[in-house]
Structures are given as structure tokens and as C-alpha cells.
Copies of this chain bind each other. A is one copy, B any other.
């Protein structure tokens, strides 16, 4: 039991990002629409330094999520930048600016070594080149009693699901169709993932479906 929780937004046709992801369009064609329900929430806007926003049944979901996480794991594709070795000429420091909204240690899965990136506000990106179990062990040490959030992208999530390392999962199901892109659930095989439904929370623009290890 590693306290690893996969949290991701997915379209009804199963995509967690649209096609043609790029530095200019990190979520792919149409992918921004997966997150509109969150961007509209006061519970999301306030910790991101934005005023206003809605209060609805998603608010508590978001608050609980932000409060319970002590470390995050993400794939190289979610951290972003051009594929291959890290460029010293054009350094890529993520999508989130100088004060990323994590405020805790983040572990980035990559094949290419890089020194840790210390940002403002308590976020440090540590680049892990020796696999998903190593990243999980490091994140567990960093998180203490809190949960570890597995945040994306699709490939990183599929690797943890296939390895049976996910303890909890929250799918933010958005009733849109991207038509193409990155699928979350693909090639896992019959009987996988071994997660059972715990509860459903319906809210404007999204249905939160929560699962725990069977």
C-alpha cells in the first residue's frame, strides 16, 4: 500500500488529452475542455492566485484533493518540453511558471538525467530515470502521511495501472468527445485495473467517479 492516487480528467470517449499535443498546445486539440469545470471553481482559483469562481459539489472534491496530497508523480510528457535529452540552450522548466501550484515535491519520470529544479512556493521537480517503482518510493518518502498524486500523462498512468501500483483513482469524467488523442485505459487486459467503484459525485460539467483497490 503506497497511498498512490491517480487523479485525471477524461472525456466520455476515453481521452485524457486531445491529438497533436505540442509545446503550443499541451493538452492537444480540444483538451483544454477537460479542465473547464476545475478552472471555474473558487476552490481551484484561490490556490492558483485567481479571484472569483463557483462553489458547487466539485468544490469539496477539489479541496479534499489539494489538502490530502503530499507529493506528485508525473510523466515526462506532462512535464513537457521537447522529447529527448534536456536542452541547456533552451531550458524547459514546466508549464507552470516560477511558482508552480503544487507546493510539494514532484517526481518526473524521464529517460534523461537532470539535476532537481527548485521553484518558488515549495515545489521541487526531481527527475527520476530508474523507473516507476523508484519514483513511487521517493514520492512516498517525501509525502509522509499524505497521499501521492499520479497526475498524468496517459502513458505514465497506464504504466502504474498495469503494474498494479494504484491504490485509489478519481476519474473526472467530462461529457465531451475529443474523437482522438491519448487514451487512459488501453491495453490493460481483462480484469484490469483491479479497482472497485466507491462513490460517484455529480457536479456541473463533470462527474467524479472514485475507486479504490479491490
Residues on B with C-beta less than 8 A from A13 are 14, 185, 188
Interface flags, A167-198, vs B, CB<8A=1, else 0: 00001010111111001010011111101010
Q: A32 in the interface, Cβ–Cβ < 8 Å?
A: no
Q: Are A185 and B177 in contact (CB under 8 A)?
A: yes
User: A207 at the A/B interface (Cβ < 8 Å)?
Assistant: yes
User: Contact mask A5-20 → B, CB, 8 Å, 1/0?
Assistant: 0000000111000110
How many copies of the chain does the oligomer comprise?
2
CB of A81 within 8 Å of the partner chain: no
Residues of B within 8 A of A79 (CB): none
Tell me, in angstroms, the Cα distance from A173 to B191 when the chains sit together.
Answer: 17
A173 is contacted by which of B30, B173, B179, B185 (Cβ under 8 Å)? Answer: B173
The residues of B that contact A195 with a CB separation of less than 8 Å are 177
Q: Which of B171, B175, B188, B207 contacts A211 (CB 8 A)?
A: B175
Q: A14-B14, A188-B13 are in contact. Are A175 and B19 (CB under 8 A)?
A: no
A-B pairs, top 7 by smallest CB distance, nearest first, are A13-B185, A175-B197, A179-B190, A14-B14, A202-B202, A179-B192, A179-B189
